[in-house]
Amino acid sequence: KAGVTQTPRYLIKTRGQQVTLSCSPISGHRSVSWYQQTPGQGLQFLFEYFSETQRNKGNFPGRFSGRQFSNSRSEMNVSTLELGDSALYLCASSWSDLGETQYFGPGTRLLVL
Amino acid sequence: AQSVAQPEDQVNVAEGNPLTVKCTYSVSGNPYLFWYVQYPNRGLQFLLKYITGDNLVKGSYGFEADFNKSQTSFHLKKPSALVSDSALYFCAVRDIWAVRDDKIIFGKGTRLHILP
């Protein structure tokens, strides 16, 4: 069974631009979560989707948004990029939203110049 | 709200010695606890989890973790460390009974160095 895939793997943007990251969960998984990882802040929760509905949201500004499609694929969008948005963005999928083990993708490394 | 702490930023262990990576947590209800490992330029890999049952949980690559409810700890252990165990380790907690706040919270990570 294929693992979680994320595209693109690397991205360079400039301040003020927007970016969309994509995540394809493991087949059959209906829950997708997004995390931001930085050396200073560690792993921070962005949001969680289950069956196209946002279940949980972390403490990030409204510039960060996401959605989930009927095939469980998910996208997250960051508008008006800031230098501090440079990070590794990780997507994780699980079969359900009830504390099941999350399986992580390789991440998208975003660099904002 | 739930929280998790990994008190050590870095742990150094000689190859062949036992290793322990510490984790303490705080939840209002019953915790689901997880350990993940991250190798350079990779996503997180699942090691083990505690939901209920035996306090000693066995996981991948010879790792195990000890759930201690009275001390609210979930320390990761391995009897004999390998150089290949060198990586970044994350503890995570989820309180699935927390209404509208049952997201998974990760610790800041502990970097494990196994010295040859």
Name the residue among A44, A56, A106 with its Cβ closest to that of B43. Answer: A106
Q: Is A42 on the interface with B (CB under 8 A)?
A: yes
Whether B8 has a pLDDT exceeding 80, the answer reads yes
d(CA B12, CA B113) in angstroms, rounded, equals 5
The DSSP secondary-structure symbol of B97 reads T
Residues of chain A above pLDDT 70, percent: 96
d(CA B100, CA A17) in angstroms, rounded, equals 32
Instruction: Label residue A63 by pLDDT band (50, 70, 90).
Output: very high
Residue A22 bridge partners (DSSP): A7, A75
Q: Is A102 on the interface with B (CB under 8 A)?
A: yes
Those residues of chain B whose CB sits closer than 8 Å to some CB in chain A are 32, 34, 36, 41-46, 49, 51, 90, 94, 96, 101-109
Are B17 and A72 in contact, with CB atoms under 8 Å apart? Answer: no
For B115, the enclosing helix (H) or strand (E) is strand B110-115
- What are the structure tokens assigned to A32, written together? 């997708």
- What are the structure tokens assigned to A1, written together? 């069974």
Q: How far is A70 from chain B (nearest CA, A)?
A: 22
pLDDT score, position B100: 61
d(CA B69, CA A59) in angstroms, rounded, equals 29
Mean pLDDT of all residues in B80-99:
89
In A, minimum Cα distance to B42 occurs at: A106
What pLDDT digit, counting tens, does each position of B93-111 carry? Answer: 988 776 666 778 899 999 9
**Exposed e or buried b per residue across B13-28, where buried means at least 16 C-beta atoms within 10 angstroms of its C-beta:** beeeeebebbbbbebe
> Is B46 close to A90, i.e. CB distance below 8 A?
no
> Is A101 close to B36, i.e. CB distance below 8 A?
no
Q: How far is B106 from chain A (nearest CA, A)?
A: 6
Among B104, B106, B108, B111, the residue to mutate for chain A (most A Cβ within 10 A): B104
Side-chain-side CA neighbours of A98 within 13 Å: the count stands at 2
Phi, psi at A51, each rounded to 5°: 45, 50
User: ∠ CA A19-A21-A22 to the nearest 5 degrees?
Assistant: 150
What pLDDT digit, counting tens, does each position of A20-44 carry? Answer: 999 999 999 999 999 999 988 889 9
d(CA A34, CA A87) in angstroms, rounded, equals 12
